[in-house]
Amino acid sequence: KTEWPLIKAKLRKIYYAPNSLEAKAQAQMFIEEYREVYPALVKCLQKDFDACIAYMNYPPIRWKHIRTTNIIERSFKEVKRRVKVMEQFPTEESCLPVWGTQTGIRILFTLLRAQNEIWEGSSAISLAGKPIKGF
């Protein structure tokens, strides 16, 4: 366990490499170093490596915005926050029967549309004031 900060730093070095070739080289060094000591960790890294660096297939200026799921997680938090203050839903459980209905879909669509309007002005969705095509 005392090695975890070092391991975490090395994994971060892989994930935040300047390009995919460097990420692969760093990953190979990590695999060689920890194959015997942490075989399950190495196996997981090998299995999911391509998915972990898939963001590198896009221009580097976009990496910061697509390498995490923060924008998706924020959407769910915002919907949850907005539903909590709706009078017809005094508890989280009280809104569950509605979500599969047309009313629930309308509520969700309205909340997500409002969030999208906020994002349109956000640097997470636009760069230099221009929308990112395909996002």
What whole-number distance in Å separates Cα of residue 50 and Cα of residue 71? 21
User: What is the model's pLDDT at position 23?
Assistant: 97
Q: Does residue 73 share a domain with residue 53?
A: no
9 lies in some domain: yes
**What is the pLDDT averaged over residues 45-64?**
90
Q: Does residue 41 share a domain with residue 14?
A: yes
Q: Does residue 49 share a domain with residue 90?
A: no
64 lies in some domain: no
Q: Does residue 48 share a domain with residue 83?
A: no
Residue where the block lists tokens 């709706």: 86
Residue 122 has pLDDT above 80, yes or no: no
Residues forming a β-bridge with 127: 130
Q: Report the domain count for the chain.
A: 2
Q: What pTM value is reported for the model?
A: 0.56
49 lies in some domain: yes
Model pLDDT for residues 61-95, shown as the tens digit of each residue = 878 777 776 667 777 777 777 777 777 777 767 76
Sign for the CA dihedral angle at 13, 17, 21, 22 comes to negative
63 lies in some domain: no
User: What is the model's pLDDT at position 107?
Assistant: 77
- pLDDT band for 38, please (50, 70, 90 cuts): very high
User: What is the model's pLDDT at position 92?
Assistant: 67
Model pLDDT for residues 3-29, shown as the tens digit of each residue = 899 999 999 999 999 999 999 999 999
Last residue of some domain: 16, 37, 57?
57
User: What is the model's pLDDT at position 128?
Assistant: 46
Higher pLDDT, 44 or 122: 44
79 lies in some domain: yes
- pLDDT band for 42, please (50, 70, 90 cuts): very high
User: What is the model's pLDDT at position 132?
Assistant: 53
94 lies in some domain: yes
Q: Does residue 83 share a domain with residue 46?
A: no
What whole-number distance in Å separates Cα of residue 110 and Cα of residue 95? 15
The domain in which residue 116 lies consists of: 69-131
